[in-house]
Structure 1
Amino acid sequence: MQHTVSSNTLIKASLAATVLAAVVLVTLILPAEYNIDPTGIGQKIGVTALAQTAEPATPESAKVEGTTEFQSIEVVVPAGRGVEYKFEMQQYEKMTYEWLTDGDALFFDLHGEPEGDTTGYYESYVIATSDEMKGSFTAPFAGSHGWYWKNKSTTPVTIKLLVKGQYKVIGLKS
């Protein structure tokens, strides 16, 4: 027994398959593979995290997504100078961190600058002098967040910074 399919049935099935493919593309494939989420559904169901963890390794100067594993970063603060190391974070994103120096204590300011602000405004969260710090942080607003370290000694100081969470590395700011 042979079945014949009418052209109307074939057209309807083709249209249904095309619509279904478009929905899957926009809601699952683009968010999971490319972190492009025009509907916001990918974020809600958690598939955008797949794109963030699947990105290839990039140079330190490039933006890198945060992870659930600690990322180790080395920052050298020259003698008598200061450096700033920043991360891009969205509002309420979290970061766990730990840093320590290979020697002298440094003056530091853990702070954030709101996204798009051109006035020079920044908000300090911790200002102190120490050779180590450990904690967690939730971004109160979208923008760049991180540390300014000032080395008042006559020799360079190397910081080992360990971070994990939700962020993109901006890196050293000049």
Structure 2
Amino acid sequence: MQDTLSNKALLKATVIAVFIAGLALVSFILPAEYNIDPTGIGAKLGLTALANPKAAVVSGAETKATIDVPKSVQAADIIEVIIPAGRGLEFKFAMEKFKKMEYQWQTDGAAIFFDLHGEPEGDTTGYYESYAIATLADMQGSFTTPFAGVHGWYWKNKSAQAVVITLTVSGEYSVIGLKK
């Protein structure tokens, strides 16, 4: 014989389920999806960053990026860098020793020369260590910094047209932006 629940028990279970679903909605789903955080829990858990990844547009003619807020840990930043025809630009991040960055970048179609490298903090000799050098239209991967310092890309546009690069990064870093 199978036990059946009374209508009162079913109503009680339904009310509890609706309450838990509402709590999950207010505490987790709204902060992560819509950047609405009435309880403050979403910000403490880093969920509000999921709803609002920063996007920056950096023009090759300008000397600074629109992202200038230092961060230690975040979701992902999407950065657009325009490399003018016949010019080279560097886009940099400050990182501590043994911190990891995951990245993906692609051009608007043209292959472009790049050097992914790092410069040790406090070094005045001009030393830098290259992690990857090639001419490609896109690349993705990750790296762990061997030393504290400035790390990032140098892109050289050898074509007669401007090249737009879309860079997506996540990890433990502070955005420096374009470096002269």
Deviations 1:98-145 (A, max 9, x none): 000002100000000000001111000100000000001100000000
Q: TM-score, normalised by structure 1?
A: 0.65
Residue deviations 1:53-112 (CA, integer Å, cap 9, x gap) = 999x89725243154422100001000010000000000011100000002100000000
CA–CA separation in structure 2 for the residues paired with 1:167 and 1:53 = 18
Distance in structure 2 (CA, Å) of the matches to 1:158 and 1:71: 16
Alignment of 1:19-168 (within 5 A): 60-168=66-174
Q: Structure 1 CA distance, aligned partners of 2:168 and 2:158?
A: 23
| Kept after mapping to 2: 8 A contact 1:66/1:164 | no
TM (norm. structure 2) is 0.63
> In structure 1, what is the Cα distance between the partners aligned to 2:172 and 2:85?
32
Q: Tell me, what secondary structure is at the counterpart of 2:123?
A: coil
Consecutive unaligned residues of structure 2, counting only runs of 5 or more, are: 1-43, 57-64
Q: How many pairs does the alignment contain?
A: 125
Mapped partners of 1:66, 1:106: distance in 2: 30
Cα distance in 2 between the residues matched to 1:103 and 1:80: 16
Residue aligning to 1:46: none
- RMSD between aligned alpha carbons? 2.6
State the SS of the aligned residue for 2:70.
Answer: coil
One-letter amino acid of the counterpart of residue 97, structure 1: Y
User: Which residue type is aligned with residue 133 of structure 2?
Assistant: I
What percent identity do the matched residue pairs reach? 58
- In the alignment, is the contact (CA less than 8 A) between 1:113 and 1:143 conserved in 2? yes
